[in-house]
Structure 1
Amino acid sequence: MTFSVEQTSVGPRRHGSAAEAEVLRAHAEDAFAAELAALAARDDRPRPARWRLSPWAVATYLLGGTLADGTVITPKYVGPRRIVEVAVTTLATDRALLLLGVPGTAKTWVSEHLAAAVSGDSTLLVQGTAGTPEEAIRYGWNYARLLAHGPSRDALVPSPVMRAMADGTTVRVEELTRIPADVQDTLITILSEKTLPIPELGQEVQAVRGFNLIATANDRDRGVNDLSSALRRRFNTVVLPLPETPEAEVDIVSRRVDQIGRSLDLPAATDGIDEIRRVVTVFRELRDGVTTDGRTKLKSPSGTLSTAEAISVVTNGLALAAHFGDGVLRAGDVAAGIQGAVVRDPAADRVVWQEYLETVVRERDGWTDFYRACREAGA
């Protein structure tokens, strides 16, 4: 016997309402509703079952472009086009998608926008942690009803995965390798048989066309809860790389900081592009273990110094400039944030940071203000 899941919600989604304007971080399908609507209106290519857009339009939404009527679609992901095309194509098949990469390579960001473009809803989400229970992936119970009436349809609480299976939509599982191995493996039957048994009711949920799953995993978490070979075979894996060039990384940081800054009423990031470029340079050199000119080898700190951390440093710097400065991003606004990102292990990383300041920053033309700001910040 199959089992249908009724749609449940904590409240109505109020697109375009005054209340939505006050949301600190809107869901992708709300923040970019105009772009998604423009793409849908002009998308005449074949769409897989229950997809809001064609695969071509989904890729255009992520990578950006200009439509025939002049509508500009802003890039959500700056990187190799083929990576996005493979990810989108995977979702159009019966294979689940695993986005793999080091911290800060936009895995969560990409998964959210993929779900928004494909299904119009990025909120079906399982957040992986060491304490994620099996119920988060399968289903749970309303214990008051369970005790009063026993196992029944009304007592069952569907998980986001179960709801996506029943509705033919996309569900996201974040930080899959953080989830205990025995809980991870509850996905095997779901991904291979496209069914979720409910033995207590003698029923099952069968996935309808349009259902698929996007998982993210962190390269640095290998060995925490490695995926079993059986589960890994159920995924097509797409590795998201770090930005190839400094220019690409500066572009990513600037765009994302602008988006965050608008919601926080911060100054435009473009006014501090020189400092953004400096943050990116420091992160890339310490991450790569060599200066940009290739002349000086460097020790790398224990942290990842990812693009996401650069975005955080610049956003915090803009807040400092707005509230305690003249609104222009300067070296003193980012110095403490950079030091905090680099020096994660006070014993080892502080030596790396001080050596970098003395051998590279101090001698670099035009970086005197940054050197002084870092020293004043306690380096």
Structure 2
Amino acid sequence: MSSVLRQHAETQFAEELAELQRADTRQRPTNWLLSPWAVVRYLMGGRLDNGFEVSPKYIGDARLMEIAVATLATDRALLLYGVPGTAKSWVSEHLAAAISGDSTRLIQGTAGTSEEQLRYGWNYAQLLAHGPSEAALVPSPLMQAMRHGKIARVEELTRIPADVQDSLITVLSEKTLPIPELSSEVQAVRGFSVIATANNRDKGVNELSAALKRRFNTVVLPVPSSAEDEIAIVTKRVGEMGRALELPAEPPALKEVQRVVQIFRELRSGQTEDGKTRIKSPTSTLSTAEAISVINSGMALAGHFGDGVLRPADMAAGLIGAVVKDPVQDKAVWTEYLETVVKERADWKDLYRAFRELN
């Protein structure tokens, strides 16, 4: 598995899950790998009684994770909602890994997602030869999760057409999936639930119907509340991804991570960190995930085309690319920020020069 670019959460963190299982003495819902308490500990990290250290998967408000896990311990489905880059998919994967030991029962929502992809399809060779039968049925990840009492994941639920979304209503309310062609149904086994993710920033968003909304408990994942939290998230993920990608560069200096995060937070909020200067915000979301990508790209440049030490010149192109999505509007916003904020900071002269050279 060492050649796999990105392992599933249950594989990458198998040791932690096994240690939590051994240490977990609390009540576990049917077909859950861990108790709700242990699932939250897996997500938030911490030291177990035997001294084993569990790494944090989510850096933020633990109460949000408790609400999410408590929802899945009931008969309600969970909707993780927020702007792009707030770790919705990441949290969804780790919840499924910790609860079911399997995060792979996944449906990727797109404008082309059909009802068959959500419910079930058919092997048409079998269907034509023998007619509708159990052998000809092709179960969806949702149907498989119902049969085995596992978690099914639906990514980008609001990208799916509204009439297809509503095919989930019976599954979520009645816990059954009718198969009219076979005059049968699949009834959900205990432990089954659905985790969906959605955001309202993308083009092509389809609003959820009121009936479907009622079947979900919604947990909004915010952008990191403090610069310290966001720096910790970026530092952790950059380190993990740098090792996975085997980038030939040193881990970035804390100073460079702080500057990238500060630029993103200031442009997102529309004001400088000290609150003294109002600035315009670009059209891009400038998520934490994009900050991680900027630094990883810089490390690749430093490692493959430099001396292995991340410097402002290595980050500059990635930063501009993250900010300037609209070549007219965002370019003007970025130029103003560069000349009125970056240029005036005495300890940012090296960064300003790197940006100017690219411009």
TM tier relative to shorter chain: over 0.9
Distance in 1 between residues matched to 2:200 and 2:35, nearest whole Å: 31
Match of 2:162 in 1: 181
Work out whether residues 98 and 235 of structure 1, in 8 Å CA contact, stay in contact via their aligned partners in 2: yes
2:215 maps to 1:215: no
Work out whether residues 283 and 330 of structure 2, in 8 Å CA contact, stay in contact via their aligned partners in 1: yes
2:270 maps to 1:316: no
Match of 2:22 in 1: 41
Work out whether residues 169 and 210 of structure 1, in 8 Å CA contact, stay in contact via their aligned partners in 2: yes
Work out whether residues 159 and 204 of structure 2, in 8 Å CA contact, stay in contact via their aligned partners in 1: no
2:44 maps to 1:81: no
Superposed, which structure 2 residues align to 1:288-299 within 5 Å?
A: 288-299=269-280
C-alpha displacement of 1:272: 2.2
TM-score by structure 2 length?
Answer: 0.98
Per-residue CA deviation, residues 5-60 of structure 1 (Å, 9 max, x unaligned), is xxxxxxxxxxxxxxx11100000000000000000011000000000000000000
Superposed, which structure 2 residues align to 1:248-263 within 5 Å?
A: 248-263=229-244
Distance in 2 between residues matched to 1:198 and 1:178, nearest whole Å: 25
2:307 maps to 1:326: yes
C-alpha displacement of 1:223: 7.1
TM-score by structure 1 length?
Answer: 0.93
After TM superposition, which residue ranges in structure 1, 4 or more long, deviate above 6 angstroms? none
C-alpha displacement of 1:210: 0.3
C-alpha displacement of 1:316: 0.6
Distance in 1 between residues matched to 2:215 and 2:100, nearest whole Å: 21
> How large is the RMSD of aligned CA atoms in angstroms?
1.0
Match of 1:8 in 2: none
Work out whether residues 257 and 269 of structure 1, in 8 Å CA contact, stay in contact via their aligned partners in 2: no
C-alpha displacement of 1:222: 8.3
2:118 maps to 1:118: no
Distance in 1 between residues matched to 2:247 and 2:122, nearest whole Å: 44
Distance in 2 between residues matched to 1:267 and 1:46, nearest whole Å: 46
Per-residue CA deviation, residues 64-86 of structure 1 (Å, 9 max, x unaligned), is 00001110000000010100000
Distance in 1 between residues matched to 2:326 and 2:216, nearest whole Å: 35
Distance in 2 between residues matched to 1:377 and 1:114, nearest whole Å: 42
Match of 2:140 in 1: 159
2:213 maps to 1:232: yes
Match of 2:261 in 1: 280
**Paired residue type of 1:219:** N
Give the length in aligned residue pairs.
359
Match of 1:335 in 2: 316
Work out whether residues 77 and 110 of structure 1, in 8 Å CA contact, stay in contact via their aligned partners in 2: yes
Superposed, which structure 2 residues align to 1:43-192 within 5 Å?
A: 43-192=24-173
Work out whether residues 267 and 328 of structure 1, in 8 Å CA contact, stay in contact via their aligned partners in 2: no
Distance in 2 between residues matched to 1:335 and 1:277, nearest whole Å: 14
Distance in 2 between residues matched to 1:366 and 1:83, nearest whole Å: 37
Structure 2 counterpart SS, 1:171: strand
Distance in 1 between residues matched to 2:231 and 2:79, nearest whole Å: 26
Structure 2 counterpart SS, 1:367: helix
Q: Structure 2: which 5+ residue stretches go unaligned?
A: none
